[in-house]
Structure 1
Amino acid sequence: MIRLAALLICLWQPLAAQTPELTARLGPADAAHVALLRSTTDLAALGPVIEAYLVTRPDTRVVYEQWGSNDLYRLTAGDCASGRTGADLVISSAVHHMVDLVNQGCATTHVSDGTGALAPQLRWRDQLWGITREPVVMVYNRDLVGPHEVPRSRFDLLDLLRPTGSRFAGRVATYDIEQSGLGFLLAFSDSLEATTFGGLMEAFGRSGSVATCCSAEIIDAVISGRFLIAYNVLGSYALQRAGQEARLAVVAPEDYTLILSRAAMIPAGAADTGTARDLLDYLLSDDGRARLEAQDLIVRLDGGDGAQIEVSGSVETLERPVGLDPRLIVAMDADKRELFIRRWRDAFPQLR
């Protein structure tokens, strides 16, 4: 019944939604092994890591499809429910979707030295693995936000939005949680962690803050000055842009900083599980992790690339990892999700 429900959800969506944002073919055209990788990760970020993997595997080709998180979930659930052959490896930042897919029986088991070395919160049922380490940050425009205005915490952000006639009114952005599975996950995680969540939602609504789609769009709008501050942005994308654009500054909130690990899964219907297992193990190897770190997909707040992030206080008390465990299934409960989205719409009436 669960699989049937997932299939019906998938079929209900418009056919146009079942189209990747982009497709790339990496490796030789005449390769003996061709694996399909579907991911929410920007090709610009993960592509160089895949290319490094392929250097020593001349008989392998990877077809890379980049998807929005909600569409990727619907497609993968539909493949599982119908028994279709789909992706050989799926990687998503919306890790609550991935936990749900594993819970539906849509994943293949894999055990290796690499998976065994992961921390317990980064592996579940030997079918789901966290492969990155990305802080969830705030970003601001250095040219337009003065040093005394920089929000170091959610409390600071509330203070900026509270005054009547605040110059930050209408110029703070975050993810639209209905368009973005990642945005929903981060907002839901905030609701579990933060005493400030209710106040922040009220302040967003009262000040005309903007809920919109996609990391790149939000970050570019901060750089251009359309927005002054963006809240709950993935640090990996923010760091990549900050390295190119001096106006963009990145802050790890000092009250707490969520740490997200994108989840990888080998679907139960994968056609080339051999290549999928090999690629997964590469991503978890020393070389693979070094490549991920070079692409800002592994970020350490206590040094390395994390030095580009403005950090206050102790890293040990700052970080709140989003673990891969059954608690995330709560975020997929239809009734709880509807109540949560209704509360969100109250904060962002322009989305109605």
Structure 2
Amino acid sequence: MIRAALLALTLLAAPAAGQELIRDFGAPTATETLRLRSTTDIAVLGPVIERFLETRPGLHVAYEQWGSNALYRLQAADCTAARVGADLVISSAVHQMVDLVNEGCARPHRSAATATLPDALVWRDELWGVTREPAVMVYNRDLVPPAQVPRSRFDLLDLLRPTESPFRTRVATYDIERSGLGFLFAFADSLEATTFGGLMESFGRSGAVATCCSAEIIDGVAEGRYLVAYNVLGSYALVRARRDPRLGVVAPQDYTLVLARAAMIPREAGQPRAAAQFLDFLLSAEGRAALERAGLLVRLDGEDGTALEISGTAETLQRPIALTPALLIALDTHKRALFRARWRDAFPETGGTAP
């Protein structure tokens, strides 16, 4: 069953403690309700839900927006108690979703739509990757000269190296204690990059800031509180950059992590049929078009009209995060403790209650 440490955290927290927003979609006369829990901003996924419901007047969607760690704890608690809760869960913290599936918290679904996914984006017919979102660097166009725009992690290291660097205290990233996605990106970096140790040392020495959420970090760059943000979810950054000329968005040329948000139908789902229909819609041509309009399907070839700044080719850039049991390493108690200790050395002012 779910890990003892996770259960202890769950029992100490009220189930709704991390719930952020709620919104209803669909006609008031609808007779069937799909309860969707997700880490995706309602403003981003809302138009996709509305498109799905256009041909389903009898269906109502109750959307709950959660932080990734709180959502993980809640789904674990529902699973352990065999309690009906969400009908569909979509999270950016895909390592947590793999763990829930591994613990027997999901039900399978197979269809022509799920069969179109590559092996890396489907696991046990119980978890499916439904988006394509790069981890990017965001910078303030007004305050960072073109010659100083970091195009790679090596460039970022060079910017932070001088003792009197103007980038001191003005680089931001996710706080891995508060953000499951931030933990995932940082852990993936530690496995992928020869620069990771150097970045941690430079972040600590230069007073880099670890903070909560995509919107908060992007706002900070736009307002000039931060000059550069590292490992930010590119889908949100690009949506903002379309309407805010102060923001530049770079796919790191040494490599770019690519996330597919993971969808799961909980084992105790009350409306598994409606959940499967929405999942199949997300994987259909119509659904993919809606996701692309929402900025949740980002191309790395520079040909989709986004503001993403790319150096190199899509093939050399991309490091997709596959939905496999290998992600469970990120949740191993010992490895997690060692990784967080290393993180706190770089960001001593942070601290939180991530599972």
Is the pair's TM-score, using the shorter chain for normalization, greater than 0.5? yes
- Structure 1 runs of 4+ aligned residues shifted over 4 Å read 3-6
**In the alignment, what sits opposite 2:187?**
188
Change in Cα spacing, 1:244 to 1:61, as seen in structure 2 (3 Å) is same
TM-score, scaled to structure 1? 0.97
Q: Which residue identity lines up with residue 338 of structure 2 in the other structure? A: L
- Structural mapping, 1:1-352, within 5 Å: 1-2=1-2, 6-13=6-13, 15=14, 18-305=17-304, 307-351=306-350
Residues in 2 aligned to 1:143 and 1:6: alpha-carbon distance in whole angstroms? 44
Asked if the contact 1:301–1:307 (Cα under 8 Å) also holds between the matched residues in 2, the reply is no
Residues in 1 aligned to 2:314 and 2:278: alpha-carbon distance in whole angstroms? 31
Asked if the contact 1:4–1:81 (Cα under 8 Å) also holds between the matched residues in 2, the reply is no
Asked if the contact 1:6–1:81 (Cα under 8 Å) also holds between the matched residues in 2, the reply is no
Asked if the contact 1:3–1:80 (Cα under 8 Å) also holds between the matched residues in 2, the reply is no
| Percent identity between the two aligned chains | 65
CA-to-aligned-CA distance 1:225-250 (integer Å, 9 cap, x gap): 00000000011000110011000000
Q: Give 1:347 deviation, angstroms.
A: 0.4
Asked if the contact 2:2–2:76 (Cα under 8 Å) also holds between the matched residues in 1, the reply is no
Q: Which residue identity lines up with residue 114 of structure 2 in the other structure? A: T
Asked if the contact 1:107–1:267 (Cα under 8 Å) also holds between the matched residues in 2, the reply is yes
Residues in 2 aligned to 1:306 and 1:189: alpha-carbon distance in whole angstroms? 28
CA-to-aligned-CA distance 1:61-90 (integer Å, 9 cap, x gap): 000000000000000000000111010000
Residues in 1 aligned to 2:49 and 2:221: alpha-carbon distance in whole angstroms? 30
How many residues of Structure 1 are paired with residues of Structure 2 in the alignment? 351
CA-to-aligned-CA distance 1:171-200 (integer Å, 9 cap, x gap): 000000000000000000000100000000
Change in Cα spacing, 1:166 to 1:6, as seen in structure 2 (3 Å) is closer
Residues in 2 aligned to 1:215 and 1:165: alpha-carbon distance in whole angstroms? 28
CA-to-aligned-CA distance 1:19-54 (integer Å, 9 cap, x gap): 410000000122111010000000111000000000
Q: Give 1:349 deviation, angstroms.
A: 1.3
Residue 249 of structure 1 aligns to a residue whose secondary structure is strand
Residues in 2 aligned to 1:228 and 1:3: alpha-carbon distance in whole angstroms? 40
Residue 169 of structure 2 aligns to a residue whose secondary structure is coil
Looking at secondary structure, tell me which structure has more helix per residue: 1
Residue 349 of structure 1 aligns to a residue whose secondary structure is coil
Residues in 2 aligned to 1:2 and 1:209: alpha-carbon distance in whole angstroms? 35
Asked if the contact 1:299–1:306 (Cα under 8 Å) also holds between the matched residues in 2, the reply is no
Residue 21 of structure 1 aligns to a residue whose secondary structure is strand
Change in Cα spacing, 1:16 to 1:263, as seen in structure 2 (3 Å) is closer
Residues in 1 aligned to 2:6 and 2:235: alpha-carbon distance in whole angstroms? 31
Asked if the contact 1:88–1:272 (Cα under 8 Å) also holds between the matched residues in 2, the reply is yes
Residue 2 of structure 1 aligns to a residue whose secondary structure is coil
CA-to-aligned-CA distance 1:92-135 (integer Å, 9 cap, x gap): 00000000000000001000011110010000000000000001
Residues in 2 aligned to 1:306 and 1:156: alpha-carbon distance in whole angstroms? 26
Q: Which residue identity lines up with residue 139 of structure 1 in the other structure? A: V
Q: Give 1:304 deviation, angstroms.
A: 4.0
Asked if the contact 1:3–1:81 (Cα under 8 Å) also holds between the matched residues in 2, the reply is no
Residue 243 of structure 1 aligns to a residue whose secondary structure is helix
Residue 203 of structure 1 aligns to a residue whose secondary structure is helix
Q: Give 1:7 deviation, angstroms.
A: 3.5
Asked if the contact 2:127–2:264 (Cα under 8 Å) also holds between the matched residues in 1, the reply is yes
Residues in 2 aligned to 1:266 and 1:4: alpha-carbon distance in whole angstroms? 23
